[in-house]
């Protein structure tokens, strides 16, 4: 039976997959690409590994039914014009020699969310004009994310772990939230008043739609967090938690990380990388509660609009 993803599960996996593609470079990026394709196409897709003097045949993967050769390029330090052009040209022409009639389509995989530079697109277009019998495609990480999200839930669990569902959000009780609140690192508190945030905070911080969905899911359970902290034996505990989360945010923001990366690290700090769905949802509830009430992420300035 095929298990369908609900909105929460899809947002969780969408966010996690995007960050995995954002973090991975070089061989680890190629490995993730191959894992996704193997899950998506089963035995029709073959990972290609170097074999001594034969090399890898200028291919990292091959889709048999479509006679497609895949070549991955995910440099850790970004694109350098001369290296990128050489990589595209050498790998394409090398694949033509190695695969001959087995090559009907050639796909270049890269790791830049901004896409290829124009000079690289110009080269790809030139190669296509010179080789009309070979289809040439370029896949960035956005394409890989879309392909990963086509996988059934059991395959996503194998690759990326368990994810919460809408039912997990609805059924969240006080106990997982209480356990999580007790576990957050306790640091000295400052007398900083907790207050509401501007309505544009999500958009101003360039948080993705997936993160927005997860925060909105957590927001539906903020009352549980508020109930627990309102009746907590130590009346200063809510401020202590706020300060701990605030300080963690400051240290992450100082590294100029992508906003979604900061969100994930904050969630991990709170306890959101657990393998138990109830604990994952509890972390969303706590993070949403403090997202609205303390200085994590930036408030949009007055008059700002998306």
Q: Residues 267-306: pLDDT tens digits?
A: 888 876 667 888 899 999 998 888 877 667 766 666 656 5
Q: In what order do the strands lie in the sheet with 61-63?
A: 45-47, 61-63, 68-73, 105-110, 135-139
Q: Are 172 and 281 in contact (CB under 8 A)?
A: yes
Same domain, 192 and 270: yes
**Residue 245: its pLDDT value, please?**
87
Same domain, 269 and 229: yes
Q: Are 239 and 189 in contact (CB under 8 A)?
A: yes
pTM of the model: 0.84
Region class of 69: left (phi > 0), else alpha (psi between -120 and 50), else beta: beta
Q: Which domain holds residue 105?
A: 7-148
Same domain, 276 and 190: yes
Read off the pLDDT of residues 171-184 as tens digits, 9 standing for 90 and up: 999 998 988 888 76
In a domain, 2, yes or no: no
Read off the pLDDT of residues 13-46 as tens digits, 9 standing for 90 and up: 999 999 899 889 999 999 999 999 999 999 999 9
Quick one: DSSP state of residue 188?
-
Nearest-angstrom CA–CA distance, 59 and 55: 9
Token pair of 197 as six digits: 């945030």
In a domain, 219, yes or no: yes
Q: Are 78 and 108 in contact (CB under 8 A)?
A: no
């Amino acid at each position: 039976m095929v298990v369908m993803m609900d909105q929460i599960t899809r947002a969780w996996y969408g966010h996690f997959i995007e960050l995995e593609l954002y973090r991975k470079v070089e061989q680890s990026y190629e490995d993730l690409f191959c894992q996704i394709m193997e899950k998506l196409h089963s035995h029709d897709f073959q990972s290609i590994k170097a074999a001594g003097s034969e090399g890898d045949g200028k291919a990292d993967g091959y889709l048999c039914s479509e006679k497609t050769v895949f070549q991955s390029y995910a440099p850790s330090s970004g694109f350098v014009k001369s290296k990128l052009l050489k990589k595209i040209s050498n790998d394409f022409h090398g694949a033509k020699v190695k695969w001959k009639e087995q090559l009907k389509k050639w796909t270049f995989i890269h790791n830049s969310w901004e896409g290829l530079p124009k000079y690289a697109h110009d080269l790809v277009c030139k190669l296509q004009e010179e080789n009309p019998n070979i289809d040439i495609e370029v896949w960035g990480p956005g394409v890989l994310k879309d392909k990963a999200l086509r996988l059934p839930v059991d395959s996503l669990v194998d690759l990326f772990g368990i994810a919460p569902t809408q039912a997990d959000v609805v059924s969240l009780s006080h106990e997982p939230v209480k356990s999580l609140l007790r576990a957050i690192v306790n640091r000295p508190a400052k007398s900083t008043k907790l207050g509401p945030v501007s309505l544009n905070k999500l958009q101003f911080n360039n948080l993705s739609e997936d993160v927005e969905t997860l925060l909105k899911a957590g927001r539906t359970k903020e009352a549980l967090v508020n109930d627990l902290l309102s009746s907590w034996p130590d009346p200063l505990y809510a401020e202590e938690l706020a300060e701990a989360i605030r300080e963690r945010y400051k240290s992450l923001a100082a590294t100029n990380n992508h906003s979604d990366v900061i969100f994930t690290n904050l969630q991990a700090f709170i306890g959101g990388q657990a393998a138990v769905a109830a604990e994952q949802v509890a972390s969303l509830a706590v993070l949403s509660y403090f997202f609205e009430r303390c200085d994590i992420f930036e408030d949009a300035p007055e008059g700002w609009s998306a």
